[in-house]
Chains A and B, each alone.
Chain A
Amino acid sequence: MESPVTNVRTARWGSYVVAFLITALMFATALYASNYFNNARINDIRATQDDISTDILSLETQFDLLAEHSCSNIGENTILPSELASLGNQLSYMEAQGGNTEEITRLKRLYSLLEIKDYLLMQQLATRCNLKPVFILYFYSNKGDCADCENQGYVLTGLSQTYPQLRVYSFDYNLDVGGLQTLLSIYNVKSAPPGRLPALVINGKVYYGFKTTDDIQKILPQLKTLQKASTSTPVKK
């Protein structure tokens, strides 16, 4: 039987310190584990970006070597739109979680460049191989000056899920990347006056403000030529 009443009134300073150290260790473990998984995610994104980067380089090389004679082969090896979209979603999630913002910004810059490269390559492919890919360039801001950007993102994600072949390229307007700034100046996309964003570039024309699914389907009738997904689950490679 327990004897629970021996020398109990006095404060146990040693026990207080031991409990404090154990609690502090638990906090440190939680922070370490969280940091570990966040780094694992960043590494995951980095690996996917490396894969896409290699794929684009490979495609470009293949394209340069064989030109228009092997359009069919090239067509089979293009980057799947869902891959870029999935990467974009992962980056958005990481950005929302906070944490290593410097690293995430670096990854976003690389992601933007990959999108531009893919966009340019698809344009060349379309011209030379007589393909008709459907593009939307989407410019957003997350500096608090774009109330509708979040909803616009959801509309475009919904469209991407409905039409897996639709290529939506999303760009953070405020990202300091030379290639992106050039793209903005080519299409003359402006964020001023405040509240002008989101902006969509469809068939070379800029549309400002929130656009619903119906609005986009009216602007982009080619959407109907794309095959619809059998389910709403994003297509994976």
Chain B
Amino acid sequence: MAVDLYIVYAFLFASLYFEVFLLTSFIERRFRAPRSDSNANTVLRSVAIVVPCFNEEKTIAATLSSLLLLDYPHEKLEIVVVDDGSSDRTLEIAQTYTNDARVRVFHKENGGKFTAMNFALERTSAELIGCLDADSIVESAALRKIMPVFENPLVAAATPGIHVKEPATVLQHMQNVEYRLSVFNRFALASLGSAFITPGPFSLFRAAVIRDLGAWRHGHATEDMEMALRIQDAGFLIANVPEAIVHTGTPATFPALFRQRVRWTYGWLLNAIDYRYMFGNREYGNLGLIILPSAIISIFAGIYFFARIVFFTTWWIATSIERVHATGVYPHASLDLFYVNTSALWFLIYMSVALIFTLLCAGTMIGTEGRRLPPKATPLFLLFYSFLVPLWLSAAVFRAAFRTGVRWR
């Protein structure tokens, strides 16, 4: 039991340390770093937005319509739809948009998202190449807002502020909160030079850098993580612009969410193995010393806490049943304040939850430019979501250990 408590406290310390580090870095940036106050002198570079799609007939029209509404010079924007072997009406719907000169539609054999991106990369001369998943819609000002960060020649990629598109189910509302928290994390990590994911919805890249680095790879079904790590490895920066807003579709049911997250975590773990030389390596600064190790520790901490809760809950239920059977006396909860658990462990858990709420508020502040409050599902997220996460973490660790592979869908 003593060993168990040492492990719990060690994991709690690591988790709290990571949260505190992100928050203090964010505060330091917020109050010390200069703010770029104008977009007036920003060069509007030529951009190709790739829409890789596979059986997206229900959502592709909204995605393309939002792209056509982008506030960006027409001659500098091309929209490249790559139908990756769809068997539904995706291609037919996409082709109805070709009357706009900015839109080009291609069809190829199914090969996965990274092949669709490379297909487009070979067919564009744009300076920047972006990706927009066919289940996402982008706000009209997003592209213009991203452009200033590319004034820095070290910036090879930029990520937007990603929000959940029209949450409907309880699970989507909880993901809405999670995405708001990710807005903070993505911004904080970028400001530490440590972004290690360039997500599918509206990440932009310097096409020349991508070509030099050898284009997109399979990356264990998470080409967005692999590319980000490769960019970091090459010494470039990945910026984040939370004001460039994109809304993305999220899984509505638990099985769909579970599959998606197992794929993400599985890919992350295997990419982490491929890029293991970055871990603890001072050459990669904050990314190598703090961020990557913390990201791995958080996976195992989540699994350990969950396993512990399951073990003790099962043990408590079993002993209670046995006791009732032996004694005939049913347990009753005491409302006496004397029996409220005030162990240090519980205080640390309360602090950790409070800290997550603070990060969530910060994410809301920068993600909505201070216009909105944290989502209404925040209490649900704080209470229950941490019980769901370890389920896919455990499955992903198991699959990664045995290299089972994952399905895209």
A interface list, Cβ under 8 A from B:
1-6, 8-12, 15-16, 18-20, 22-23, 26-27, 29-31, 33-34, 37-38, 41, 44, 90, 93, 97, 150-151, 154-155, 157-158, 210, 212-213, 232
Contact = CB atoms under 8 A, between A and B. Distances in A.
Nearest to B326: A151
A1 B347 contact: no
Interface in B239-280: 239-243
Given A5-B239, A154-B331, A213-B328, 6 more contacts: A4-B191, A5-B193, A8-B194, A15-B21, A15-B28, A151-B327
Nearest to B335: A233
A154 B329 contact: yes
A236 B289 CA distance: 58
Contacts of A154: 323, 327, 329, 331
A232 B39 contact: no
A231 B339 CA distance: 21
Interface stretch (B70-78, B127-135, B147-155, B391-399): B147-155
B290 interface: yes
A157 B329 CA distance: 9
Interface in B34-81: 34-37, 39
B240 A4 contact: yes
Contacts of A157: 329
Contacts of B285: 8-11
Contacts of A4: 29, 149, 187, 190-191, 239-241
A15 B28 CA distance: 9
Given A11-B285, A30-B348, A31-B344, A1 B148 contact: yes
Contacts of B235: 9
Contact of A29 (B152, B290, B347): B347
29 contacts: A1-B37, A2-B191, A2-B366, A3-B148, A4-B187, A4-B190, A5-B149, A6-B33, A8-B192, A8-B193, A8-B237, A9-B235, A11-B286, A12-B192, A12-B286, A15-B21, A16-B290, A19-B17, A20-B17, A22-B20, A23-B13, A26-B348, A26-B351, A30-B347, A210-B326, A212-B326, A212-B327, A212-B328, A213-B327
Interface string B338-374: 1100111111100100000000000000100000000
B24 interface: yes
A184 B112 CA distance: 80
Interface string B283-311: 01110011000000000000000000000
Contact of B155 (A5, A97, A210): A5
Contacts of A3: 33-36, 148-149
B39 A1 contact: yes
A16 B20 CA distance: 10
A34 B282 contact: no
Contact of B338 (A6, A22, A41): A41
Contacts of B191: 2, 4-5, 8
Contacts of B241: 1-2, 4
Given A9-B237, A30-B344, A33-B347, A19 B20 contact: yes
- In the complex, which of the residues A18, A26, A157 has the most CB atoms of chain B within 10 Å of its own CB atom? A26
Instruction: Return the 9 tightest CB-CB contacts between A and B, nearest first.
Output: A8-B193, A158-B329, A30-B347, A37-B342, A19-B21, A3-B36, A34-B344, A4-B191, A30-B344
B145 interface: yes
A20 B289 CA distance: 14
Given A27-B13, A30-B348, A41-B338, A5 B327 contact: no
Given A5-B155, A19-B20, A12 B25 contact: yes
Contacts of A93: 338-339
Contacts of B20: 19, 22-23, 26
A80 to B, nearest CB: 16
B348 A232 contact: no
A211 B382 CA distance: 45
Contacts of B187: 2, 4
Nearest to B14: A23
A155 B16 CA distance: 43
B332 interface: yes
Contacts of A33: 342, 344, 347
Interface string B118-151: 0000000000000000000000000001001100
Contacts of A6: 33-34
B366 to A, nearest CB: 7
Contacts of A16: 21, 289-290
Given A1-B243, A19-B17, A30 B351 contact: yes
Contacts of B282: 11
Contacts of A44: 338
A204 B199 CA distance: 78
A233 to B, nearest CB: 8
Nearest to B286: A11
A60 B155 CA distance: 86
Contacts of B342: 33-34, 37-38
Contacts of A26: 16, 20, 348, 351
Residue in B21, B240, B289, B366 with the greatest tally of chain A CB atoms within 10 Å: B21
A151 B241 CA distance: 61
Contact of A23 (B17, B37, B145, B339): B17
A59 B138 CA distance: 81
A27 B348 contact: yes
Nearest to B18: A19
A229 to B, nearest CB: 13
A155 B348 contact: no
B328 A158 contact: yes
B332 A232 contact: yes
B317 to A, nearest CB: 16
B36 A1 contact: yes
